Amino acid sequence: MTLFRCCGAVVLLALASVSAQDKPNLSGAWIAVKDAPGTLPAAPSAILGARMEIRHKGDSFTFVRPRGAFSIEATYPIGGPEVRVRSPGTGCQGDAYFIDRASWEGTAVVFTTTGLHSAGAALPSKLDIKRILRLEGPDTLVVEGTIVQAGQSSQMGTVYKRSTEALPPPASTLPATKAAAKIADVAWIASNWVSDPAPSAGATTEERWTPPAGGVMLALSRTIRGPSMTAYEFLCIAERDGSLVYNAMPNGRAPATEFVLTNVTADSATFENPSHDYPKAIKYTRRADGSLETATSGAPNQRTITVVLKKQ
């Protein structure tokens, strides 16, 4: 009886050891190649993008993928809860958030996107997109997924090979001084606004702001002197990293200059960019009479320019 128990314990330990060894380590930088997987047709485009990096330690799975000029990084406990991953907006687009989770399926890691919270949406939309990551050799990773073409779904795969190619830098975050806000907090800016003619030059300034939609407000500003337009500017405010970013493109100049929301109340919003030459701050204020005051300011020795706009 003692011998049976002893042998049973040895068998259990051996099985546990085999089970642990069966879990491969997917760590590495990977680049998609055109090879077709052995048992699946090749996907028309790389299922997890052209490049990615995985840092895999036990049941912790860190996934890095380029998205535009930046890389998005998130860590998942395999078999653990869902993780909310920020996909940073660029220009006049707000942030979106993917809801993902990772789990084991035998010796493969199943990476599932269960939802997408788009900028401006009250609730995330539900998704069920599964990708299976399977190590098929020291330098070969196969990713399987369901591809929908012409209304028909089929299982396809992408082969990835180890790579030494560096990924783009991590997506930037806003400075710690940012003020938490949603685009709805500055909805009062939306309208068509026109100033009275300036006494000295007879010029009028206009700002035409759209209502919030999709986490963004868009605007066009112009200055009119007599029959001529002497200046124009494309503007937008977008939800970004839990706050708001004001983008200014004077005379259509690109890239835009970004100003981060640093203070917001029911009737005012201040956006700042201390590294910019001028302005360093832009403040919008809703005045008691219903008009809109804009104030642009720079360094202490630079004058603040204030314009009062009336709703049209």
Per-residue pLDDT tens digits for 102-116: 999 999 999 999 999
Q: What is the pLDDT of residue 150?
A: 72
Query: Which residues does residue 112 pair with via DSSP β-bridges, in sequence order?
Result: 101, 130
Task: For each of the domains in the chain, give its residue range(s) and CATH number, in order of start.
Answer: 23-162 (2.40.128.20), 183-311 (2.40.128.20)
Q: Which of 61, 57, 48, 67 is CA-nearest to residue 167?
A: 67
Confidence at residue 201, expressed as pLDDT on a 0 to 100 scale: 67
87 pairs with which residues across the strands?
A: 96
How do residues 280-305 score in pLDDT, each as one tens digit? 999 999 999 999 999 999 999 999 99
Cβ atoms of 210 and 218 within 8 Å: the answer is yes
Confidence band, pLDDT 50/70/90 cuts, at residue 172: confident
Bigger pLDDT: 203 vs 160: 160
Residue 8: pLDDT over 50: no
Integer CA distances (angstroms), 86 to 117, 244, 266, 287, in order: 9, 15, 27, 36
Which of these, 135, 138, 117, 136, lies nearest to 126 by C-alpha position?
117
Q: Rg of the Cα trace of the chain? A: 27
Query: Residue 240 and residue 234: Cα distance in Å, rounded?
Result: 18
